[in-house]
Amino acid sequence: MNEPIAESLAYGLNALALLAISGILIAAFYAQIVQGGLPCPLCLLQRVGFVIVGLGLSLNLLERLRPGHYALMIMGAALGGAISLRQVFLHIVPGSGAYGDPVFGLHLYSWAALIFAAVIVGASIMLLVERQFATGPSPRAPAADPRLVRAGLVAVAVFAIVVLGNGVSTVLECGAGLCPDDPSGYELLGRG
């Protein structure tokens, strides 16, 4: 596979992955807003892990594909995975209860742990494909197809909007202090 094709393929995969991360955050937001399942502090920290993963993908789409951007994804996934596993371990003992309703038999924090593991594996595999890392003076992502570049920019815009929405909802839920362990409402909206 020649270098321009490898770069375009990697760029496209990064755009798809960023849309997937945005979809995960949208699904969590849906559970929060529509289903009324306010996220606990560990859930919010898992979202931070997904945001860090998305930031690495966004940097790959806005700048040149770089190993450091994949490393950022791996670090975000490791952080989010550790937090997810912490929450799994809190609820693994029978009778300890669970947080939120299961989706396809697993709670969201269990799904998050699996997805973070997949991100680590995927980013590691992408690091092995050295042909995607172009050499030369251009600081921008070199995807030749303008449609691919537009798709990447749309993915970044969707991600930015989702991150902004999650940030606003977190501030509304937690206010200026620590988030409650078992949230019952939005702090800045009068806990209702």
Set out the domains of the chain in order of their start, with CATH numbers.
Answer: 3-189 (1.20.1550)
The pLDDT tens digits of the residues spanning 137-181 come to: 555 555 567 888 899 999 999 999 999 999 999 999 888 888 888
> Please, are residues 54 and 28 in contact by the beta-carbon 8 Å criterion?
no
The pLDDT tens digits of the residues spanning 47-105 come to: 999 999 999 999 999 988 899 999 999 999 999 999 999 999 988 877 777 777 788 88
* CA–CA separation, 192 and 179 (whole Å): 15
Q: Please give the average per-residue pLDDT across 108-129, as a whole number.
A: 95
Angle at alpha carbon of residue 108, lines to 102 and 109, rounded to 5°? 125
Average model confidence (pLDDT) for the chain? 88
The pLDDT tens digits of the residues spanning 125-148 come to: 999 988 787 665 555 555 567 888
Helices 41-62, 67-90: crossing angle, 10 deg rounding: 170
Query: Which of 110, 161, 144, 175 has the alpha carbon at shortest distance from 10?
Result: 144
Helix, strand or coil, per DSSP, at residue 49? helix
**R_g of the chain, CA atoms, integer Å:** 18
pLDDT of residue 70: 97
